[in-house]
A and B are shown apart, each in its own frame.
Chain A
Amino acid sequence: MNILLCSVNTLKTFFEISSVEVGQHLYWQLGGFQVHAQVLITSWVVIAILLVSAILVVRNPQTIPTFGQNFFEYVLEFIRDVSKTQIGEEYGPWVPFVGTMFLFIFVSNWSGALLPWKIIQLPHGELAAPTNDINTTVALALLTSVAYFYAGLSKKGLAYFGKYIQPTPILLPINILEDFTKPLSLSFRLFGNILADELVVVVLVSLVPLVVPIPVMFLGLFTSGIQALIFATLAAAYIGESMEGHH
């Protein structure tokens, strides 16, 4: 009896110190529906960062670029290179999509890791990267699905559906399954990485707040950047795959 109470008490003190909040959302009501307000707020901040910095830097392009313009040119060249490698020669119209995907996810992840969101106290839940919410990642993955369908259909018309029986009709169920696993894997990969990284950092900070979390934070920055790249590259790869010609 005593042992039970003692263990319960220690657990209680631990949790009072750590206060790890998982899956707590700030709910707003829009019409008859609920939204996760913390995701919307942080996504607005990310959008603001992207648009304001782009407008400020790209205002007067010089032939010999300034530091900011050079950086943005580098980013654009990088995105173009990714699109070109994956999609091929007709990559031009898809650069905005792939680029926005990459930039949105990258800035979301890094803002979640770097910006001091905890300063703003929400009545319920807390602010963090918008990509730590399943809604965001599934939204992006579904958009990617729509994009590669649109790419295939606009290029080949209804002959696009012939790809389901390539190379042999026996693979038809697998090809159909792919259309479900592609967005599923995209969304869960991103969601799991970002949420898990946040959790690890928070738990480590609650246990040993001084030096130990720092390598994990750097790891988090690195992997979240890689995840943005992976998401964008895979999106481009799926688009390229739907658009590619006859084997």
Chain B
Amino acid sequence: MANMIMASSRTLIRASTVSPPPPPSQKLPILNHITLPRLQLPLLNNLSLQIPIPHPNQTLKSLSVLAATSLALAPPSLAVEIEKAALFDFNLTLPIIMVEFLLLMVALDKVYFSPLGKFMDERDAAIREKLSSVKDTSSEVKQLEEQAVAVMKAARAEISAALNQMKKETQAEVEEKIAEGRKKVEAELQEALASLEKQKEETIKSLDSQITALSQEIVKKVLPTV
């Protein structure tokens, strides 16, 4: 590897013009990745043009020192070559994203937020209304039940009142009739009693006359000689 460096730096020293980068195999290890600085020959060119070619051992040492310093000093002068990691790169993308977001907001509102939101609210209101209406009808039903009970009570009261009235009337009639009948029966009874008395008296009277006759006969028979 040391020889490689020596060889490459020798060619550098000889070439005075800045040439396009030679193939990778001759250069110092090049990191292919773009975030690391590419070490290009022109730098070594700048540093080493003035140095005469000394003894190989001394060349090796001085060139190694050169290589180290060049590596260390690479970043500032290679600013053109490094591809900057552009993290804070503000450009037209910013307003474009703003516009995109606003358009997306309007579109989503028209397609999703408003229609679905309205639908959900209506559904909520409908359900709430149904719930409250169900509660109302149950109280209505209670009212109707109470009315029915009241009506029934009234009807029953009417019926019993009418019944009582009728009972009273018929009872009065019945009592009347009974009284009439009783009277008749009593009258007849009196008549019959009276006629029986009469008959009794008549029989007694007839009996009396018969008793007298009989007693005279008895006397006659008992006292024939008299």
Contact = CB atoms under 8 A, between A and B. Distances in A.
Interface in B1-35: 1-2, 5, 28-35
Contacts of A221: none
A143 B31 contact: no
B96 A40 contact: yes
A15 B32 contact: yes
B107 interface: yes
Contacts of A47: 100, 104
A146 B123 CA distance: 35
Contacts of A130: 97
Contacts of A50: 104, 108
A11 to B, nearest CB: 7
A129 B29 CA distance: 35
Chain A interface category by residue count = 35 or more
Q: Is the interface of B mostly helix, strand, loop or mixed?
A: helix
Nearest to B32: A16
A96 B113 contact: yes
A159 interface: no
Interface string B116-139: 110110010000000000000000
B65 to A, nearest CB: 9
Nearest to B60: A1
Given A15-B32, A15-B33, A51-B108, A25 B89 contact: yes
A15 B36 contact: yes
Contacts of B2: 1-2
Given A139-B94, A140-B101, A15 B89 contact: no
B117 A138 contact: no
A4 to B, nearest CB: 7
Contacts of A33: 91-92
A165 interface: no
B79 interface: no
B43 interface: no
A97 B108 CA distance: 10
Contacts of B188: none
B67 A1 contact: yes
B108 A103 contact: yes
A22 B89 CA distance: 12
B97 A139 contact: yes
Interface residues of B, number: 52
Interface stretch (B44-52, B80-88, B170-178): B80-88
B29 A12 contact: yes
B98 interface: yes
B115 A99 contact: no
B105 A134 contact: no
A121 interface: no
A8 B29 contact: yes
B71 interface: yes
A216 interface: no
B93 interface: yes
A104 B90 contact: no
A100 interface: yes
Interface stretch (A55-63, A177-185, A239-247): A55-63
B64 interface: yes
B59 to A, nearest CB: 12
A14 to B, nearest CB: 9
Contact of A61 (B34, B36, B105, B119): B119
Contacts of A195: 87
Given A15-B31, A76-B113, A136 B93 contact: yes
B117 to A, nearest CB: 6
B45 to A, nearest CB: 20
21 contacts: A1-B1, A1-B67, A11-B31, A12-B33, A15-B35, A22-B35, A24-B34, A31-B92, A43-B100, A51-B108, A51-B111, A54-B108, A54-B112, A63-B123, A130-B97, A134-B87, A134-B88, A136-B97, A139-B95, A142-B94, A143-B101
Given A5-B28, A12-B29, A36-B89, 12 more contacts: A2-B2, A4-B67, A11-B36, A25-B86, A31-B92, A34-B92, A51-B107, A76-B117, A76-B120, A136-B93, A136-B94, A139-B97
